[in-house]
Amino acid sequence: MKKLTPHHIHILKPYESARSIDLKGHVYLNANESPWINTVKYEHNNLNRYPEFQSSELLKKYSQYSYIPNNQILITRGADEGIELLVRAFCISGNDNIMFFPPTYDMYSVVADIFNIKKITVPILSDFQLDIKNIKKKINNVKLIYLCNPNNPTGNLFFRKDIMNILTIIPKTTLLIIDEAYIDYSIQDSFISELSRFNNLVILRTLSKAFGLSGIRCGFILSNINIINILKKVLAPYPIPTPVSNIAIKSLQSKNITIVKKNILQILKNKIFLINKIKSFLCVQNIFLSQTNFILIKFYQSKKVFQYLISKGIIIRDQSYKLGLENCLRISIGTINECKDLINILSMFEGNKI
């Protein structure tokens, strides 16, 4: 197999998803999912027929939600497929470069490794903002720039002026891809309004987070018509299964959007509640500012905290191995009862002085 497999695939370290890590518990706060089940029902019909290449009804619904014309939207199997499609469509293996800003979402790096694309990284600063000075130095010959905003796993938004600065200095042959997987929790900070101004701007969206539909794997690429048409060339023939588009269409009806917005407000409320309860705990060194449905916390003994929570059935995500995030754990915001469970377990950790 070693002789059969290309070297860059042989040495590839695949993305380690929350579900691929074999941890069992009763409270799962490790994957930034919605804690509430989306109650949209699927109508089982016409499964003997192939689906539309791009569901016209789903395009219409997301157009209404995003205020972007249908022909500037591409439906994908989650935002992850969008990340890959852009590399597949615009990068030449072994020749082109992509740029991203660690610590950030690991799939930018993994996709680059899969396609044998060189990675140019500019770590974010200690305040989790962009290092514009070094970005400018390294921007030459970069084909794609991936920017997660709000960022995962730090949870913060980057300064808008810095992102606009990047947009103005990059050549038209460089695409800035803003991954807005978590933007529904801070929708006023979206860069959708800039699509009409910049032909090299691409925005990634998903229904996996705020819409509570991680299980259907449905995302969207928003850009100008020319980029969308190029991406269609490399997309699979029938990319979106009929059940997926059917559920997604219903989730984008006004009645369900009202529920989603209500859930977003509840998550933000739960986040404030959780932060206020644990910020004075002796095991907590710092809780970083978050504009998402998760918080990044720096603990004094993150490994002990992590293992203790697991032993009590609360599953969170260890981020301490990432650049600049020593002793950091990421915690998704759950229901109020899940937040209370976490608070109680952390208070037990403190009381036991482990």
N-terminal to C-terminal alpha carbon distance within the chain: 46
Structural contact between residues 259 and 253, judged by C-beta atoms closer than 8 angstroms: no
**What number is the average pLDDT over the span 128-157?**
97
Residue 213 has pLDDT above 70, yes or no: yes
Q: Cα separations (Å) of 72 from 225, 275, 323?
A: 5, 39, 35
Confidence bin at 227 (pLDDT 50/70/90): very high
Q: What is the average pLDDT value for the chain, to the nearest integer?
A: 94
Structural contact between residues 220 and 206, judged by C-beta atoms closer than 8 angstroms: yes
Write down the domain spans for the chain. 7-33+256-352, 56-253
The reported pLDDT for the residue numbered 211 is: 96
Entry field: residues in the chain: 354
Q: Is this prediction's pTM over 0.85?
A: yes
Structural contact between residues 270 and 276, judged by C-beta atoms closer than 8 angstroms: no
7-33+256-352 under CATH 1.10.3720.10, yes or no: no
The reported pLDDT for the residue numbered 64 is: 98
Helix (H) / strand (E) element for 269: namely: helix 254-278
The reported pLDDT for the residue numbered 354 is: 40
Q: Cα separations (Å) of 329 from 36, 285, 294?
A: 23, 11, 10
Radius of gyration, alpha carbons of the chain: 21
Which of 86, 207, 237 lies closest to 147, judged by CA?
A: 86
- Say yes or no: do domains 7-33+256-352 and 56-253 share a fold: no
56-253 under CATH 3.40.47.10, yes or no: no
Confidence bin at 52 (pLDDT 50/70/90): very high
